[in-house]
Every structure is written in C-alpha cells, then in structure tokens.
Chains A and B, each alone.
Chain A
Amino acid sequence: MNTAPFTATSFYSFLQEHKLMGTRCTHCGALYLPPRPLCPHCPEAPLEWVELSGKGEVVAFSVIAIGLTAMQEMGYSRENPYVSAMVRLVEGPIISAQLLGVEARHPETIAIGMPVHMTFVERGPQDARKTYLAFEPIAEGGA
C-alpha cells in the first residue's frame, strides 16, 4: 500500500514518475482526482491512493492567446497560443491540463468528446524543472 501523504506534493512526485494518482474513499468508494485528503461524504473514513489509466475525453477547452507569465516563458505567445483543457477520465473524474498535439491556431479542429490520453510536460526554469500533467489526442486506430 502506498503510504505517501495525501498532498499536492505527492501528486506531483507521482507525476514525475509518470503516474497519475488519485485517492479513493475506503468507505464509499468515491474516486478523487485531484487527490483529496478527506472524503466530503465520509469525513472519518481513511483514503487510499489509486493509479488512473490516463485515458479520457475532452469536455471543455480554450486556445489561450494571452497566457500566464509562466507559459509565455515557455515560448507561448499570441502567435503561438497553447490549449488548456478539462478532460473526463474513463474512471469518471475531470481534471484540468494542457492539451498537446493539436492545432492551436485552428480551434475548429479541436472537438469536445475528442479521445485523449495522458502525457507529461516539463515546465519551469532549468534548475527547477517540474513535471506537469498534459493530454494528447489518441491517434486514429492507435493507443
């Protein structure tokens, strides 16, 4: 059993190992991603870590032209926008992440319901790189 504390720090450490980890309530079975440390339905029940498949579908997205400073530092700009999305995983929970491998300059080619799977992206200054969750479309007939 994984004994890591139920924190964002643990979530990002797992991502570093390319694992997408949520938590599950051992009482009611509810699955939480991002991982919650406390089940709102059963506040006294212990939780446990669960690895998710990383497969899902886009339920909402935006092509962001005026980005956060941190994204501008990654080279994104009005001419080179990026896509952020909300993805519903096959296990049920929805999570926000960058969507890669799509034509950001042609939003009409990005569709709600588009099947995606997880990938990972490194961001931050050279000496403080951090791994973030991302998704990309599942290639036709593949994955």
Chain B
Amino acid sequence: MRLSRPGVAVVGAGMTRFGAFPGLATRDLFVEAYRELLASVDKGFDPREIEAVYVGNFSNELLEGQGHLAPLLTDWIGLTPRPATRVEDACASGSAALRQGILAIASGLYDIVLVGGVEKMTDLPTARVTDTLATAADWTYEVSAGFTFPGLYAALATAYMHAYGATPDVFLQVGIKNHNNGALNPKAQFGQRISDIMEARKAAALKKGKPAPTWSTEWDFLTDERANPMIAWPLRLYDCSPISDGAAVLLLVREDLASRFTDQPIAIIGSGQASDVATHDRPTLTSLPAARRAAELAYAMAGVKPADIQLAEVHDCFTIAEIIASEDLGFFAPGEGWRAAQEGRTARTGDRPINTSGGLKSKGHPVGATGIGQVIEIWKQLRGEAGERQLPGDLRLGLTHNVGGTGQTCIVHIFERR
C-alpha cells in the first residue's frame, strides 16, 4: 500500500495537560485541546475550512456514560454539520482516528481534516476502570481466567524474563527514565522524577509527625512494597501507566496545501496497522507480532529503515511494553531491548531516544487521546519546540507506536520534517 501523492501533513496540534480533572467532561477537554490547536497554526486559518472530524475514544459509555461522542464533540467546537465519526481500537483508538483522517485525505475526498482523541477515566473508582480496561482483552477466554490488563502484560514479562534473563529492576529503570523525561514536560500528569516523588513523600511524612521513611535512593523507594506496591507480579505500581483524563487534536491537510498553514509542516510518510489474535493464541509471548507487522508496513511505505528513525514515542502502558516495542520496531534485536534500556541507550542522551515526552508512564494515558498525544511530541521535537526536553541535532524522522489491548491492534506512523 502507498499513500497517494500529494501526501498528508500535520499543520496544527493541541492537547490538554493529561491528569485527573474533576468537573471537566470529555467535551470540555476536547474544546481545550482544540483551542490550543487553533493557536498552533503558524499562519492562522479559518476553522470552517475543516471538512470532517475523526475522534478516537475507547469506552466513553462505561467511563463517562455518554455515547455517540463524535457529533457531540464536533458540536462543542462549532463544526457541525461536518461528518463526525468515532473510531475505536482500544488504547490505539487515537492512532486509528489519525489513520482514518490520512485515508480520507489520501482518497481525494477531503483536503482538511481534524483528528483527535479523548478519554475521561477518573470519574470511576479504580476497580471499575480496571474492569473496563480488561474489556480490551478477550472477555470470554482471557478475562475469565482472572487476567486484568496489567496481569496480561505481567504474563508477557514473565515469558520475556524466562527467555532472555531480564529482571524486574530493568523494567523499573524504564519508569525512572520516563519520569526523568516527563519532569521536563508541562503537559505530563506525573511530571516529577521518581527521586523527587520520593523526597516529597518523605517530607509529607515528617510534616504529619510520622517517622520518615528510610529510603536513600530511588531503588530503596521502588523496592519498598509500601511505596511501590505490587499490582500484578512482576509489575509494580511504577511499572504501570496511570488512569488519566485528557484530549489531543491534530489538523491534517493535503501536503501540497500545507504551506498556506505553516512553513514547518510535518509530513506523514508511513502508516501501518495490523490486527492479531488473543494473547495466548500467538506463536510468541515475547513480542507483539502485530507491532512487527505494522512497523514493516510503515517502514516500507516511508522508504526508511529502523536505523533512520531519530526518535520514537512508543506505547509504554507498562514498562515491559516499552522494551518489547524497542525490539518490535527493529531498534534492537529480540532479547536485547532490556540491555539497551539498562545501558541508557533509550534515554534523551542515548543514541536511540524513546518517549522524550515521558511516555504513557509519566505523561499519562487517557486511552483515546494517547495516540494523538504521541504525535504531538514528535511534532514538537521535529519543529524544535519541545522546550527543555528538546533533543539536539537536525531532527527529520520520528515514529509513533500505539497498541490496542495486548497487541490485538498495533498502529505505527512515521513522520518527516521536509
């Protein structure tokens, strides 16, 4: 498959902070992200030029109690009667909406499309959110075994540890790295380094007149069951992305029109998507075959190789998922991703920076918005607008990797600053 010429470019982007926002509904979050998008278009534009809207959202009926979301959000940003469609592929819903926007422009039907994602997760108690997230797995044959969503990734982690000799402390190192990055991202839900979280907890204990915990390093903190409780062995709290609210939107245009909007468009040069069977039914438990397939398709469409990619936002819903992603995308050989993480190669200062935004772990994971949020980090980095976390050098190629469930859906996009 190839994208038709002219291609598709991102010319505007906006997102809310990710976090817990009592009193803000999906429509409020969406409006906030849209306002930021309007301000982001360098040369300005008339929003009435937008021809269609695609919104990624996982489970708003269960989480907020509001269905039929796309026209409602489109109403709230004043764009009715344009066609508005919601797209759902679990945690990959945002990238699925992006892909629909790309396909709509590539088909020749539209020139200017708004794509976005939103999720409102913090209104429900954690147990209900856990049950809701589990619906992304096979309810009849996986969830019936007691598997939660963290539980399924934890099972992949045990298979990975067994196959390659990795240990749970390496997983936590991914979390430390992503919190270091998120601390430099004002949009991050938990934008603090883990050492800062530890010091804050100590100070809070002292203030309450309780004995101060004796942690002296991040490792003391991360291996203390009280500070970092087990969620699903071998994954602890700091291996897991949080429950979040948030919205993110992108303005897509036919690439030959992009110069009307900005002198710094970001072209989408590769788009790959694949589906897969239930977790237990796969030939491997140490890789997500659909991610490998989606990456192959995206690389082939873009005409680039894994080694050409200068930065990637990958789907670290759990720390083990980032390690597996770094292998599935071809950055490291199978079984070597954990060593690369341990050696700091995926840090901002490494040769293969991953999740400079803080990733899902630190930035937050409002499911439907996540895939769009990933693109916004690539957009900022390629345009040199990532502030304190800006990577050095001449950045031209970035990649996003967005996973639904435990890899029943995987979507990879490749972006280029021309």
- Contacts from A to B (Cβ < 8 Å): 8, 34, 59-69, 71-72, 78, 81-86, 93-98, 107, 112-113, 132-133
Answer whether residue B4 sits at the interface, using C-beta atoms and an 8 A cutoff. no
- What residues of A have a CB within 8 angstroms of the CB of B278 in the complex? 34, 96
- What residues of A have a CB within 8 angstroms of the CB of B146 in the complex? 64, 67-68, 71, 82-84, 98
The residue from B147, B156, B229 contacting A84, defined by CB atoms under 8 A apart: B147
Chain A CB within 10 Å, residue with most, of B145, B146, B232, B233: B146
Measured in the bound complex, the distance between the Cα atoms of B134 and A113 in whole Å is: 26
The residue from A83, A85, A95 contacting B141, defined by CB atoms under 8 A apart: A95
For the residues of B in contact with A, the DSSP-based class is helix
B281 nearest CB neighbor, chain A only:
A94
- Contact between chains at B144 and A132 (CB < 8 Å): yes
Given A61-B155, A112-B162, verify A67-B148 contact (CB < 8 Å).
yes
**Complex interface bits, B128-156 against A, C-beta within 8 A gives 1, otherwise 0:** 10110010000011111111101110111
- What residues of A have a CB within 8 angstroms of the CB of B285 in the complex? 59-60, 86
- Contact between chains at B155 and A62 (CB < 8 Å): yes
Interface residues of B in 116-130 (CB under 8 A from A): 126-128, 130
- What residues of A have a CB within 8 angstroms of the CB of B128 in the complex? 69
- What residues of A have a CB within 8 angstroms of the CB of B232 in the complex? 62-66
Given A68-B143, A69-B127, verify A112-B158 contact (CB < 8 Å).
yes
The residue from A65, A67, A97, A113 contacting B229, defined by CB atoms under 8 A apart: A65
Answer whether residue B279 sits at the interface, using C-beta atoms and an 8 A cutoff. yes
- Contact between chains at B280 and A62 (CB < 8 Å): no
**Complex interface bits, B336-377 against A, C-beta within 8 A gives 1, otherwise 0:** 000000000000000000000000000000000000000000
Answer whether residue B103 sits at the interface, using C-beta atoms and an 8 A cutoff. no
- What residues of A have a CB within 8 angstroms of the CB of B235 in the complex? 62
- Contact between chains at B158 and A8 (CB < 8 Å): no
Q: How far is the CB of A88 from chain B (nearest CB, A)?
A: 9
Answer whether residue B230 sits at the interface, using C-beta atoms and an 8 A cutoff. yes
Interface residues of B in 17-76 (CB under 8 A from A): none
Answer whether residue B231 sits at the interface, using C-beta atoms and an 8 A cutoff. yes
- Contact between chains at B148 and A68 (CB < 8 Å): yes
Q: How far is the CB of A100 from chain B (nearest CB, A)?
A: 11
Answer whether residue B289 sits at the interface, using C-beta atoms and an 8 A cutoff. no
- Contact between chains at B140 and A66 (CB < 8 Å): no
Answer whether residue B234 sits at the interface, using C-beta atoms and an 8 A cutoff. yes
Measured in the bound complex, the distance between the Cα atoms of B233 and A94 in whole Å is: 21
Measured in the bound complex, the distance between the Cα atoms of B158 and A82 in whole Å is: 16
Measured in the bound complex, the distance between the Cα atoms of B280 and A59 in whole Å is: 9
Measured in the bound complex, the distance between the Cα atoms of B225 and A78 in whole Å is: 11
Answer whether residue B159 sits at the interface, using C-beta atoms and an 8 A cutoff. yes
Measured in the bound complex, the distance between the Cα atoms of B148 and A28 in whole Å is: 34
- Contact between chains at A112 and B147 (CB < 8 Å): no
Q: How far is the CB of B226 from chain A (nearest CB, A)?
A: 12
A132 nearest CB neighbor, chain B only:
B144
- Contact between chains at B158 and A61 (CB < 8 Å): yes
